[in-house]
Amino acid sequence: MISRPALSTGDAQRGYLIPIGGAEEKEVNPTILKRFVALCGGSHANIVVIPTASRLADTGSLYVELFEKMGAARVDFMQLKNRKDCERPSYLERLDQATGIFITGGNQLRLSTIVGGTPLADKFRYLNAHGVHVAGTSAGAAVIPEHMIAGGDAGPTPTQAGVTLTPGLGLINTVVIDQHFRERDRLGRLLTALAYNPYACGLGIDEDTAAFIGPDGVLEVVGSGGITVVDPADLDYSSISEIRKGEVVTLLNVRLHILAAGAQFNTNTRKPFVNAELEPEELA
């Protein structure tokens, strides 16, 4: 079953979705994490950390300490070890109190196999549709969309079977996300994912970089790296169905944007733009 975003009801406004490319700065200038805490209410922020993707025992407590240092009022983490944990009434009730949910990095397949299709996943979608902000870093970013990149080949060139796709949490269905993008040379596998079905845009997010996607579908780039937007809306041709495994995919008329901090992209209209108030510094 494919998971799709929940519908907002009444006067509810959707919360932000904040995929982070991984390796976000945590100590010297944690711009992304500070902005997430501020968005969640600052000194009134109530955050739940989901460290399920990580096998490290201290991942949850690390982010709890970080968010508390940034002034959040309450921060807890949920150690989800199996699918039964995702049905626990106490966990579902705790999430109802949250203003923000943060999903850590690790292995996105641990996330999808433990959380996917559970009452907890349903709760994530419902809460986001009703104003709760959801951030995820690395594996936690990959699992946010309806379709999740679970693995694939490095390199700039798309190839048949060069990516593995599985269902994600379904918090958004207009984008597919790849993380550690420039650092791990993942353009080819993102292009391959879009070659299968060019409905969604591809977001390739560099490390220490985040897309703050608002309720209107407009994302703003925050952090020290960039976001590569691959837009196949006007794709004329894909050879993915006609070639053998490992062969190079032909893609005609794919649009590409490179967005740095402050640049924006509307995921609904697929229009990029730069805030007029942000003037580039003069070249030395």
As a whole number, mean pLDDT of residues 41-67 equals 97
DSSP 15: P
Helix and strand numbers (H, E) in the chain are: 7, 17
Which CATH number belongs to the domain containing residue 22 in this structure?
3.40.50.880
- Whole-angstrom Cα distance, residue 202 to residue 108? 17
State residue 136's pLDDT score. 98
Residues spanned by the domain of 190: 17-267
Q: With respect to residue 89, please indicate whether it lies within any of the assigned structural domains.
A: yes
C-beta of residue 20 within 8 angstroms of C-beta of residue 143: no
Q: Answer yes or no: is pLDDT of 103 > 50.
A: yes
Query: Which entry of 3, 54, 112, 138 is annotated as an active-site residue?
Result: 138
Q: Answer yes or no: is pLDDT of 281 > 60.
A: no
- Whole-angstrom Cα distance, residue 194 to residue 55? 30
Task: Please say if 180 is a catalytic residue.
Answer: yes
pLDDT digits (tens, 9 = 90+) for 170-179: 999 999 999 9
As a whole number, mean pLDDT of residues 68-88 equals 97
State residue 16's pLDDT score. 98
The tokens describing 205, both together, are: 């997010």
Closest CA to 32 of 54, 10, 58, 63: 63
Q: With respect to residue 21, please indicate whether it lies within any of the assigned structural domains.
A: yes
State residue 33's pLDDT score. 98
Q: With respect to residue 143, please indicate whether it lies within any of the assigned structural domains.
A: yes
As a whole number, mean pLDDT of residues 6-26 equals 93
pLDDT digits (tens, 9 = 90+) for 234-262: 999 999 999 999 999 999 999 999 999 99
Task: Please say if 207 is a catalytic residue.
Answer: yes
C-beta of residue 143 within 8 angstroms of C-beta of residue 103: yes
| 226-265: burial string, b at 16+ Cβ within 10 Å, e else | bbbbbbbeeeeebebeeeeeeeebebeebeebebbbebbb
Q: With respect to residue 106, please indicate whether it lies within any of the assigned structural domains.
A: yes
Query: Which entry of 3, 54, 133, 207 is annotated as an active-site residue?
Result: 207
| 193-211: burial string, b at 16+ Cβ within 10 Å, e else | bbbbebebbbbbbbbbbbb
Q: With respect to residue 76, please indicate whether it lies within any of the assigned structural domains.
A: yes
State residue 19's pLDDT score. 99
pLDDT digits (tens, 9 = 90+) for 163-196: 999 999 999 999 999 999 999 999 999 999 999 9
As a whole number, mean pLDDT of residues 213-228 equals 98
Q: With respect to residue 283, please indicate whether it lies within any of the assigned structural domains.
A: no
Q: With respect to residue 171, please indicate whether it lies within any of the assigned structural domains.
A: yes
Query: Which entry of 24, 112, 180, 220 is annotated as an active-site residue?
Result: 180
Closest CA to 80 of 64, 45, 104: 104
Where does the pLDDT of residue 2 fall: very low under 50, low under 70, confident under 90, or very high at 90 and above?
low
Instruction: Give the amino acid at 82.
Output: N
What is the total count of domains within the chain? 1
% of the chain with per-residue pLDDT over 90: 92
Task: Please say if 146 is a catalytic residue.
Answer: no
As a whole number, mean pLDDT of residues 80-104 equals 98
DSSP 41: T
